[in-house]
């Protein structure tokens, strides 16, 4: 794109801005004269985020100084300390650690998957043990590998076809889903439940195709959950490239073998913490608005998009509200939840404590879908009056439209979901999803994959909706 139409573009831009201004404010003014002022306040939040945003430099520190931070690890401890130290500089009314016990799984030093083809040297398949997997015997497991793409195919192979074998789950993400989370939802069952469903038929290990829409060599880890009715067998993810290689080998050759060697282990539960900071409400200190992400990550890469981004965005959202001089009516909390990835202990503990203390939660929002350009905010609630509340929230869409953000009904986030019984309105921050599964749970989820402006726009969006919920939601 060149400069020849600059004046046209500029003019078009000015006209567009004026139109947006008119469109944004007119219908809103009909609903509430105040919303005009609110639109201006929210604009100043975005300006501050884009000019003086802290989230990006905070993310750099979290990624480069702490790094990945699986629950129970030394790095998770460091992350707790780091997060509290940042909150301590923010002149909040209160900062504290909320204890919770977390699972403690370690990958171990030895991890290797090899493919044995007749007449060639064994080839390494890029692999990561799934979180929670048991280890193999020290010498590993070597067996024939059988590919399945559906539960029906697994069941029809049955014990006869699977006993003593390694099952390779190779159902890919559906590329036709525009929202990639739907494609993820359509195949993650293989990773979560595949080990036990194969063990039921006597399989000795499972390999799972990574949840990735690209063909590349990064294996994507994530949790396996064992069904206690069956033997716990080792489970690993292999990269999509390795999956293609393995699938081709199975097609070309009768009974190729694979070896799997992993030394991971589950240790006793470890003490850890949610990290919480709050600004006390000026009118309703006993009513709460919570915003957060999860501080833990998988044990590879930096956990930059998942979910360092959510942590620093919500922390910056709190700062943005301070910076525009906003005095919240309700108490506003930032919560860095611990252990979303393999237990949700932090999210559950936060809700348990809130319910025990009789805290009224008006609203809780989670950012845990990556640090990409904001596209939508989604809302849900167990409140029988939610439809009316959602109509009210939808009335604010005109404010968010100039930032390209829609207001939809939809899911919130794993960590805030235990607050559902309180009838709080729950929300999920929903950025563009096209790139998320390039990085999710991989060694490639590093700081350099996060775009500064995209991250900052998210912080401003979260601050904006918290501002409106605080002012108007009863």
Question: Mind telling me the catalytic residues?
Answer: 340
Q: Is 391 in the site for its own copies (CB under 8 A)?
A: no
**Binding its own copies by CB under 8 A: which of 3, 120, 228, 391?**
3
Q: Give whichever of 73 and 259 is closer to its own copies, judged by the CB atom.
A: 73
Q: Using alpha carbons, select from 361, 344, 348, 368 the residue that is nearest to residue 428.
A: 368
Rounded least distance, CB 189 to its own copies, Å = 7
What is d(CA 71, CA 51) in angstroms, rounded to the nearest whole number? 34
**Binding its own copies by CB under 8 A: which of 311, 454, 465, 468?**
454
45-63 CB burial, b ≥16 within 10 A, e <16: bbebbeeebbbbebbbebb
Q: Is 216 in the site for its own copies (CB under 8 A)?
A: no
Q: Give whichever of 87 and 424 is closer to its own copies, judged by the CB atom.
A: 424
Q: Give whichever of 16 and 40 is closer to its own copies, judged by the CB atom.
A: 16
Q: Is 202 in the site for its own copies (CB under 8 A)?
A: no
- β-partners of residue 374 are 431
**Binding its own copies by CB under 8 A: which of 210, 417, 427, 446?**
417
Biggest CA pair distance of the chain = 78
Q: Is 429 in the site for its own copies (CB under 8 A)?
A: no
Mapped onto helix, strand or coil, the DSSP state of residue 266 is strand
Rounded least distance, CB 114 to its own copies, Å = 27
**Binding its own copies by CB under 8 A: which of 122, 161, 185, 285?**
185
Mapped onto helix, strand or coil, the DSSP state of residue 262 is strand
User: How deeply is 341 buried, as exposed, middle or buried, from its count of CB atoms within 10 A (0-12, 13-18, 19+)?
Assistant: buried
Q: Give whichever of 19 and 124 is closer to its own copies, judged by the CB atom.
A: 19
User: Which region, judged by CB under 8 A, interacts with its own copies, from 79-87, 98-106, 221-229, 251-259?
Assistant: 221-229
CB 248 within 8 A of CB 242: no
Number of amino acids touching its own copies (CB under 8 A)? 65
Q: Is 136 in the site for its own copies (CB under 8 A)?
A: no
User: Which region, judged by CB under 8 A, interacts with its own copies, from 92-100, 196-204, 336-344, 384-392?
Assistant: 336-344
Between the CA atoms of 262, 103, 243 and 255, what dihedral angle is there, to the nearest 10 degrees?
A: 50
Mapped onto helix, strand or coil, the DSSP state of residue 239 is coil
Q: Using alpha carbons, select from 346, 348, 401 the residue that is nearest to residue 376.
A: 401
**Binding its own copies by CB under 8 A: which of 137, 164, 271, 404?**
404
User: How deeply is 19 buried, as exposed, middle or buried, from its count of CB atoms within 10 A (0-12, 13-18, 19+)?
Assistant: exposed
Residues in contact with its own copies, shown as a per-residue x/- string from 278 to 317 under the rule CB under 8 A: ----------------------------xx----------
User: Which region, judged by CB under 8 A, interacts with its own copies, from 94-102, 136-144, 162-170, 401-409?
Assistant: 401-409
- β-partners of residue 207 are 168, 236
**Binding its own copies by CB under 8 A: which of 25, 32, 36, 47?**
47
122-157 CB burial, b ≥16 within 10 A, e <16: eeebbbbbbbbbbbbeeebbbbbbbbbbeeeebeeb
Q: H or E segment at 40?
A: helix 34-52
Contacts with its own copies by CB under 8 A lie at 1-6, 8-10, 12-13, 16-17, 19, 46-47, 50-51, 175-176, 178-179, 181-182, 185-186, 188-189, 191-192, 213-214, 222-223, 225, 306-307, 340-342, 344, 368-369, 373, 375, 380, 402-404, 408-411, 413-414, 417, 432, 434-435, 440, 451-454, 457
């Amino acid at each position: 794109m060149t400069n020849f139409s600059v004046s046209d573009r500029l003019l078009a831009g000015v006209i567009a801005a004026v139109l947006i201004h008119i469109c944004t404010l007119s219908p809103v003014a009909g609903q509430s004269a105040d919303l005009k002022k609110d639109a201006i306040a929210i604009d100043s939040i975005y300006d501050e985020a884009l000019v003086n945003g802290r989230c990006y430099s905070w993310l750099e520190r979290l990624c480069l100084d702490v790094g990945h931070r699986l629950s129970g690890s030394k790095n998770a401890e460091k992350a707790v300390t780091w997060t509290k130290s940042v909150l301590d500089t923010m002149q909040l009314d209160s900062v504290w650690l909320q204890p919770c016990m977390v699972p403690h799984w370690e990958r171990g030093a030895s991890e290797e998957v090899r493919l044995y083809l007749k007449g060639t040297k064994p080839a390494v398949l890029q692999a990561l043990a799934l979180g929670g997997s048991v280890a193999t015997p020290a010498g590993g497991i070597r067996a024939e590998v059988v590919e399945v793409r559906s539960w029906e195919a697994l069941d029809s192979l049955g014990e006869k076809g699977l006993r003593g074998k390694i099952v390779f789950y190779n159902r890919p993400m559906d590329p036709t889903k525009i929202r990639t989370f739907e494609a993820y939802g359509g195949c993650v069952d293989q990773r979560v439940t595949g080990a036990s469903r194969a063990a039921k038929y006597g399989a000795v290990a499972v390999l799972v195709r990574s949840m990735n829409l690209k063909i590349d060599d990064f294996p994507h880890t994530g949790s396996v959950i064992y069904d206690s009715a069956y033997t716990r067998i080792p489970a690993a993810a292999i990269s999509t490239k390795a999956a293609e290689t393995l699938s081709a080998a199975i097609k070309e050759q009768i009974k190729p073998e694979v070896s799997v060697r992993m030394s991971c282990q589950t240790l006793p539960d470890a003490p850890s913490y949610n990290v919480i900071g709050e600004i006390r409400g000026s009118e309703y200190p006993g009513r709460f608005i919570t915003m957060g992400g999860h501080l833990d990550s998988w044990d590879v890469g930096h956990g930059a998009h998942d979910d360092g981004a959510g942590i620093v965005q919500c922390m910056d959202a709190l700062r943005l509200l301070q910076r525009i001089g906003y005095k919240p009516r309700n108490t506003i909390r930032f919560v860095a939840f611990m252990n979303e990835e393999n237990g949700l202990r932090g999210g559950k503990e936060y809700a348990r404590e809130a319910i025990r203390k009789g805290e009224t939660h008006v609203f809780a929002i989670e950012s845990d879908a990556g640090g990409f350009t904001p596209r939508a905010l989604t809302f849900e609630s167990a409140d029988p009056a939610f439809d009316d509340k959602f109509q009210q929230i939808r009335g604010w869409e005109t404010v968010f439209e100039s930032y390209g953000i829609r207001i939809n009904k939809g899911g919130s986030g794993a960590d805030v979901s235990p607050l559902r019984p309180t009838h709080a309105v729950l929300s999920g921050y929903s950025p563009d999803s096209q790139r998320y599964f390039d990085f999710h749970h991989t060694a490639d989820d590093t700081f350099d994959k996060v775009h500064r402006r995209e991250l900052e726009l998210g912080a401003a969006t979260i601050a904006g909706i918290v501002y409106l919920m605080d002012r108007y939601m009863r």
